[in-house]
Amino acid sequence: MEKKLNLLCLTIITNILLLYSYSLNVEGRHHISKKTKTKSITSHAPSSPVEGSVKEPSPSQPSPLSPPPASSPSNVVPSDPSYGGSPDLSPDDCVFDVTEYGAVGDGSTDDTDAFIAAWKAACQVESAVLLAPADRTFMITSTIFSGPCKPGLEFRVNGVLMTPEGPDCWPKEDSNKQWLVFYRLDNMTFTGTGTIEGNGEQWWELPCKPHRGPNGSTLPGPCDSPTMIRFFMSSNLVVRGLRIQNSPMFHMKFDGCEGVLIDELSISSPKLSPNTDGIHIENTKSVGIYNSVIANGDDCISIGPSSSNIHIEGVTCGPSHGISIGSLGVHHSQACVSNITVRNAMIRDSDNGVRIKTWQGGSGSVTGLSFDTIQMENVRNCIIIDQYYCLTKGCRNETSAVYVRDISYRNIKGTYDVRSAPIHFACSDTIACTNITMSEVELLPHEGELVDDPFCWNAYGIQQTLTIPPIDCLQDGMPQEIGEAVEYTCST
């Protein structure tokens, strides 16, 4: 009897151990490179984000975008650089590896179809990761990655993702105005440890580009070049950790977006590469740009019309054309820009430092700008407001202009290139710049001696501390007239 009891106990214990082992085995499973079966996909090509033909993946069950919740970054500018996707893949991530969908990654094979297939699958799974793995070079052509998708989607590039090699290799049926477009997405992250390569050299050498024709001229003719990465009509975006380089035109553009966090990017192209803005923002609200290094041939960061609540911190620019608000008001348009902060930044070896540029004849306003704690190193036009911006010599003065007001410059120090005055306030004849505040501005010649004193035209404000060099031309108080107020009012 005792032997039977012992045998029964042993059997029970063995079964318990087997069940426990099985449960561990089940809990340890995860999704890696899983292909999901998809139904027939209907293409929903957007009418406005595309100029020219591009390949576009679409989710199988599109649903309208809902407004983000009140606690989302669309209502509060992200201020914590740790916000966003994790740096490493977790065993529990649902990963869609593009090589499992046919991507070769040898730098010459067209891997577009594999990326489209992986996107379609990942788009339908919550918190999915589309992975372009390390040690591979993937070439894809102009593509729209379209939503809506399930929340938490991550597009991770750990290898190299690159464009075709110059305009001659660009497919004729593809748009030559944009390469990667992310459209109608919410709660999406674009990240990785890899490189986005634009192969821009042959685009920069087109004879229609500035000073690329014979004897430094510019020739007429087709001159469209693709923006490398464009986010359009999307919200709650995170872009982090990537190296983005050698774009044919703008490196990265945000248009019609709300709630954007950009952190720890490296953006680079040669100093003389034309129109290669680092980050361009327009029609976009609530943006944080942090801890990034940008060197290029045009504006380091440019902010276009209908943009507000933008915070830029810990950014190093140069060589570049500096951080620019504008250009605004072209073709007599209304431009509204408000609540922009740039702080703890470095600008070096650049044509401009912090710049506001508007065209004659525009309307609207630029208001609530703060430039705080910025180090300049060998910069022309360290502080500049240019309300006579023009790309030719044929522009004429107009009776209307974008109203520039409530601009603060604090703790801006360093050295300037003596070929230009370090401070230049050229405000419109008919609409003065008002409420300019200068505090702890100290700018010394990088080499040589000061050639021109600071320049002011129709600029009003206050010096809270003595400025180096002295800016005696800034007028106290307010002008007698501002003009028709309705022309310079922007709706919030």
Active site residues: 298, 321
Q: Which stretches of 363-447 are assigned E, i.e. beta strand? A: 363-379, 383-386, 403-416, 423-426, 433-445
Tokens matching residue 461: 């404000």
Residues in the chain, overall count: 492
DSSP string, 209-223: STT-SGGG----S--
Q: Are 474 and 456 in contact, with CB atoms under 8 Å apart?
A: yes
For residue 351, the Cα-to-chain-centroid distance in whole angstroms is: 20
Q: Are 431 and 456 in contact, with CB atoms under 8 Å apart?
A: no
Taking the CA atoms of residue 258, residue 260, residue 266 and residue 268 in that order, the dihedral angle to the nearest 10 degrees is 10
> Would strands 243-245 and 266-268 be described as parallel, antiparallel, or unpaired?
parallel
Which residues, 6+ apart, have CB-to-CB distance to 200 below 8 Å? 225, 246, 247, 248, 249, 269, 273, 276
Phi-psi region of 251 (alpha: psi -120 to 50; beta: other; left: phi over 0): alpha
Please give the Cα distance from 245 to 287 (Å, whole number).
22
Please give the Cα distance from 484 to 431 (Å, whole number).
10
- Tell me how far CA of residue 386 lies from CA of 25, 71, 107, 363, in angstroms: 67, 38, 44, 15
**Any idea what the Cα angle at residue 281 is, between residues 358 and 315, rounded to 5°?**
100
Nearest to 373 by CA among 421, 433, 413: 413
